[in-house]
Structure 1
Amino acid sequence: MNRRVLLPVLLAAATNAEAQSTTIAPGDGFEVERYAVALRPDLETAAVSGTETIDVRGTSDRVTHLAFSANALRIADAMVDATPVQVSSTTDAIVFTLPQALRKGRKVTLRFRFEGTPARGLTAVAGSIYASYFACDWMVCLQDAPGDKAHLALDLFLPADAQSVGVGRASPAATSADPLVIHRWRSTRPYSPYLYAFAAGRLPRQAIATAHGELVYFDGTGSNADLAALFAEAPAITAFLANKAGMPLPDRRYAQVLVPGREAQESAGFSLIGQSELDRERDDPSSAWIIAHEMAHQWWGNLVTCATWQDFWLNEGMATFMVAAWKEHSAGDAAYRQELDVARRRVEQVRELGFDKPLAWDGEYPSLRARRAVQYSKGALFLAHLRETIGEVAFWNGLRRFTRQHARKTVTSKDFQNAMERSSGRDLSATFAEWVYGK
């Protein structure tokens, strides 16, 4: 791509961008219905280039700009419908100036080209590349808008010998004008953009059929790992989680991509599993968590998603608790209690530093450690407490009600409270006030 085409667009808009970035927050005044990306990733350097189309709908009147999460990509040839538009990139946002104000309910389509090396979110290793969490660094999207679920169409232009895994289902591959092959992935339901991801390259695979969906294992380490041995517990974990959710795996398929290091990240339809984390668990089986935790997110976090980060505990507290519940099922009550003791110690450590907040606190956390202590560990402890308070049958029935009723949707703590109250026939206001709302 000719960078001389890109630079004037940015320079012409620089002054305007500085003014806009202080007043226009990503996502203000619109919601996204669909992202479509044609991506050419460099498997050696993690650089990318491509084109993107975004279908948006106004949620308020007189929207004059479309702002998205900032990244390091260079944008060119931006158009809204058939009209060229100005684009500016700053450390705060990527802002597209609309040719005319967007009214509430009206839809427009934004198209542009991009190229660059993402600052985060893509890792190239052993002839492969994988995306982890920061989707809005390798494409343009809304990183911090979990409630704005949208469809994703992702076309990956890859070498002929490459395999890929992505969001949703794959269509038959097609040849392109150059020596590359197009791998087409289409989401089967809307997902939050932080869950968009892919892996591509030399990825030996194994697959196993279960009653709840197909499990696929990919080796992205380049080391010929024994995938069947490493993921031996995955079928049993799938059966346990599907039973507790009252639903099979979304899309009846789930992939786990083995990668170097301690990576642990759920995506829509697959997860990254760090080889070093599995090695640590092999040496100390009582520390095992990663396979169950990331798989749990396919229901709680991906299928049913917190509307804002304020209720992130519904994603992470649930997945942390389900690890304990799985250990109880597979190894007994002592293993369950041991896992909860780990969560309790993490909460106590931040309390000793003078920090303790309710689960749905909407303030700023002083550190990632503090956020995890509250939303992951305290969230798990609350679920264990709730289970003891309302009883085994009511708790699991309430969880199934919550999951089925809100599948494909976004939720708040109140939605979870309502499900548990209906299941138990009890007023749980005091319990939720103490643990969740802090009132």
Structure 2
Amino acid sequence: MINRSIEGSVTIDFLISPEVSQVRFDCGNLSISQVNGTYVERFRQEEQQLIINLSNRSSDPVSVKVEYSGSPKRGLIFKEGLVYTVFSTDYWMVCNMNPSDKARLKLKIQVPDSLDVIMSNTSRNYEAPAYTYGFVIGSFNKHSEVFDSLTLNYYSSQYSDEQLQKVFRETPHILEFLEEKSGTPYYQNNYSQVLGGDHYQEMSGFAMIKDTYGNLVLKDSTETNLITHELAHQWWGNQVTCQNWNHFWLNEAFATYLSAAYNEVRFGKEKYQSDIDSYFKVYQKILEKGADKPLLFPDWSNPSRDDRNIVYFKGAYVLHLLREEIGDSTFWKGIKHYSKENFGKSVTTKDFQEAMEIASNKSLQEFFDLWIY
């Protein structure tokens, strides 16, 4: 923690056409010291990428081992006895950040015995995109419970066992709700939530939630939106994943809207409408500035704050409008069809449109042209 630096190695196994002689991986500002593998001829770094030249080979799987070190400028946060990752996995581990390229992960981290580690490790043969890989290191209080053979873990260095239990007491109910709406059971052996740091970030198998959020829930037990949002990403985002960042609203609008939908079931229609009104107010300010854009972005290379608000809050508001357009039962039938058909896959906005048109048995082109395209 004093040096704010890391050393590591990653073994990447992949299948690729034998006609391909070069592969690229993202590596942020890491320094690559060595790349080994049966078919590795040479390697170089260029524009935050590791480029590996491969020799002639058959169609067998390829395995490369990359050794690296560095002081990450992004993606790895060091703060007051806490180390945690935020989105930019390629700044602490060589990987492919394309969201459509998913892989299984086995992660090992060496830390002093006095510290706890919560980290992504995929299980049951499912794959996840690299931006969902992550870990948290620190000294934590912990509360655990078992729900339907699933272990739920809650961590914090600031909150007691009793407080953690209160903050996250809705988690089993939220889990049931999301399983029902997606039509797919939660697919890992455990799910962890960590209160710490200054960020909100879904990871494969756990969520990082801003430390101060716990106080908000302790004061008002209905303030569970962010707990639901991050848990919803275990389906919409981590498994039903946008094919590229231009379709990012398929990750974030869904997680945002599902948090309002859970509030409707758990706390009533008035709470739901309050959430929808708050989403619309954010969008209305964007409209007043003349900064509105389609939900399907032509480019997501340098998004502004307004762009992010469009993806999250306009997107959630549009899902609300779609539900009003086609009716409750049809809407949720379409959501379930879309989620089950595309679980473990990468999706585009067209995939979502087609699923909702199948459910409603009518063309939604006019609605999608107006609100999404």
TM-score (normalised: structure 1): 0.78
Q: CA deviation at 1:394?
A: 1.2
Give, as a single letter, the amino acid of the residue that structure 2 aligns with 1:316. Answer: E
**Contact 1:306–1:314 at 8 Å: present in 2 too?**
yes
Pick from 160, 173, 180: which aligns with 1:243? Answer: 180
Structure 1's 430 and 83: CA in aligned 2 closer, same or farther, altered over 3 A?
A: closer
- Counterpart of 2:116 in structure 1 is 163
SS in 2 for 1:357: coil
1:257-311 deviations in Å (ceiling 9; x for gaps): 11133x2110011000112123245456676521111111111111211111111
2:76 is aligned with 1:76: no
Q: Distance in 1 between matches of 2:282 and 2:222?
A: 17
Matches within 5 A, 1:243-262: 243-261=180-198
Structure 1's 431 and 101: CA in aligned 2 closer, same or farther, altered over 3 A?
A: farther
Pick from 144, 149, 155: which aligns with 1:218? Answer: 155
1:92-120 deviations in Å (ceiling 9; x for gaps): 222324154789x6643222211112112
- Counterpart of 1:276 in structure 2 is 212
- Counterpart of 1:17 in structure 2 is none
**Contact 1:317–1:376 at 8 Å: present in 2 too?**
yes
Structure 1's 256 and 286: CA in aligned 2 closer, same or farther, altered over 3 A?
A: closer
- Counterpart of 2:15 in structure 1 is 57
Pick from 365, 369, 372: which aligns with 1:433? Answer: 369
**Contact 1:71–1:136 at 8 Å: present in 2 too?**
yes
**Greater strand share, structure number:** 1
Give, as a single letter, the amino acid of the residue that structure 1 aligns with 2:65. Answer: R
Pick from 77, 82, 92: which aligns with 1:138? Answer: 92
Deviates more, 1:313-322 or 1:353-362: 353-362
Pick from 101, 108, 122: which aligns with 1:148? Answer: 101
Give, as a single letter, the amino acid of the residue that structure 1 aligns with 2:105. Answer: L
Matches within 5 A, 1:263-302: 263-283=199-219, 288-302=224-238
1:129-156 deviations in Å (ceiling 9; x for gaps): 222211111001123x111111212121
Pick from 151, 167, 189: which aligns with 1:230? Answer: 167
2:363 is aligned with 1:409: no
SS in 2 for 1:50: strand
- Identify unmatched segments of 5+ residues in structure 1: 1-42, 170-185
Q: CA deviation at 1:393?
A: 1.0
- Counterpart of 1:327 in structure 2 is 263
SS in 1 for 2:294: coil
Give, as a single letter, the amino acid of the residue that structure 1 aligns with 2:30. Answer: L
- Counterpart of 1:203 in structure 2 is 140
**Contact 1:44–1:127 at 8 Å: present in 2 too?**
no
Q: Distance in 1 between matches of 2:302 and 2:68?
A: 35
- Counterpart of 1:389 in structure 2 is 325
Q: Distance in 2 between matches of 1:99 and 1:231?
A: 49
Q: CA deviation at 1:373?
A: 2.3
Q: Distance in 2 between matches of 1:299 and 1:46?
A: 33
Q: Distance in 1 between matches of 2:295 and 2:39?
A: 46
Give, as a single letter, the amino acid of the residue that structure 1 aligns with 2:16. Answer: G
- Counterpart of 1:34 in structure 2 is none
**Contact 2:167–2:218 at 8 Å: present in 1 too?**
no
**Contact 1:195–1:302 at 8 Å: present in 2 too?**
yes
Q: CA deviation at 1:247?
A: 2.2
Aligned residues with identical type, % of pairs: 31
Pick from 37, 50, 53: which aligns with 1:98? Answer: 53
SS in 2 for 1:426: coil
2:248 is aligned with 1:309: no
**Contact 1:347–1:374 at 8 Å: present in 2 too?**
yes
**Contact 2:242–2:248 at 8 Å: present in 1 too?**
yes
Give, as a single letter, the amino acid of the residue that structure 1 aligns with 2:48. Answer: A
- Across the two proteins, how many residue pairs are aligned to each other? 372
Structure 1's 366 and 283: CA in aligned 2 closer, same or farther, altered over 3 A?
A: farther
Structure 1's 154 and 83: CA in aligned 2 closer, same or farther, altered over 3 A?
A: same
Give, as a single letter, the amino acid of the residue that structure 1 aligns with 2:286. Answer: V
- Counterpart of 2:45 in structure 1 is 88
Question: What RMSD, in angstroms, separates the aligned Cα atoms of the two structures?
Answer: 2.5
1:368-395 deviations in Å (ceiling 9; x for gaps): 3222222111111111111111111111
Structure 1's 429 and 82: CA in aligned 2 closer, same or farther, altered over 3 A?
A: closer
**Contact 2:167–2:217 at 8 Å: present in 1 too?**
no
- Counterpart of 2:83 in structure 1 is 129
Q: Distance in 1 between matches of 2:278 and 2:57?
A: 51
1:289-335 deviations in Å (ceiling 9; x for gaps): 21111111111111211111111111100011111111211221121
Q: Distance in 2 between matches of 1:333 and 1:293?
A: 18
